[in-house]
C-alpha cells in the first residue's frame, strides 16, 4: 500500500518566503530528482525552483563579498589643539594650547604679570 505523504508547507503557499524556498531546494537536493521531476511530484512550478535557486545563490554571493571585504574602517584622528593668544596687561602675548589646565594658566599669568618679570 503506498504511503501518503504530507504536503510540505512550501507546496501550499502562493508566495514563498526565503525560508520556504530554502526548504523546497533542500528537499529537492535530498530527493535525487531533477528540478522538473521534483516539481511535478510536489505540484510546483519548476521555473519557480530555478528562480529561487538563482536568487539564493546571488544572495549568498553578495553576503560572502561583504564578509570578505571586512568591516569598514573609519579613522578618527585627534584634532590638534588650537593655540590661544592671551595679551597680558604688560602687553606681552602669551600663546598656549587650548587644552592647558586652568590652574597652570592662572599661575603662569600671575607669574608673568608680577612686577619685575
The answer on pLDDT for 19 being more than 60 is yes
Residue 11 has a pLDDT of 66
**What pLDDT does 117 receive?**
64
Q: What is the pLDDT, as a whole number, of residue 37?
A: 94
DSSP string, the chain: -PPPPPPPHHHH-SS--HHHHHHHHHHHHHHT--HHHHHHHHT--HHHHHHHHHHHHHHHHHHHHHHHH-------PPPPPPEEEEE-TTS-EEEEETT--HHHHHHHHHHHHSTT-
Task: Provide mean pLDDT across the span 70-97.
Answer: 82
Give the pLDDT confidence score for residue 82 in this predicted structure: 84
What is the C-alpha to C-alpha distance for residues 22 and 40, in angstroms, rounded to an integer?
A: 18
pTM for the structure as a whole: 0.50
Amino acid at each position: 500500500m503506498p504511503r501518503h505523504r504530507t504536503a510540505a508547507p512550501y507546496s501550499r503557499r502562493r508566495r514563498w518566503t526565503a525560508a520556504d524556498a530554502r526548504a523546497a531546494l533542500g528537499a529537492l537536493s535530498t530527493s535525487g530528482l531533477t528540478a522538473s521531476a521534483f516539481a511535478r511530484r510536489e505540484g510546483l512550478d519548476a521555473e519557480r525552483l530555478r528562480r529561487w535557486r538563482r536568487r539564493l545563490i546571488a544572495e549568498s554571493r553578495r553576503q560572502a563579498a561583504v564578509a570578505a571585504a571586512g568591516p569598514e574602517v573609519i579613522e578618527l584622528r585627534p584634532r590638534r589643539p588650537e593655540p590661544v593668544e592671551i595679551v597680558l596687561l604688560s602687553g606681552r602675548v602669551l600663546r598656549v594650547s587650548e587644552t592647558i589646565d586652568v590652574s597652570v594658566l592662572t599661575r603662569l599669568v600671575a607669574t608673568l604679570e608680577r612686577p619685575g618679570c
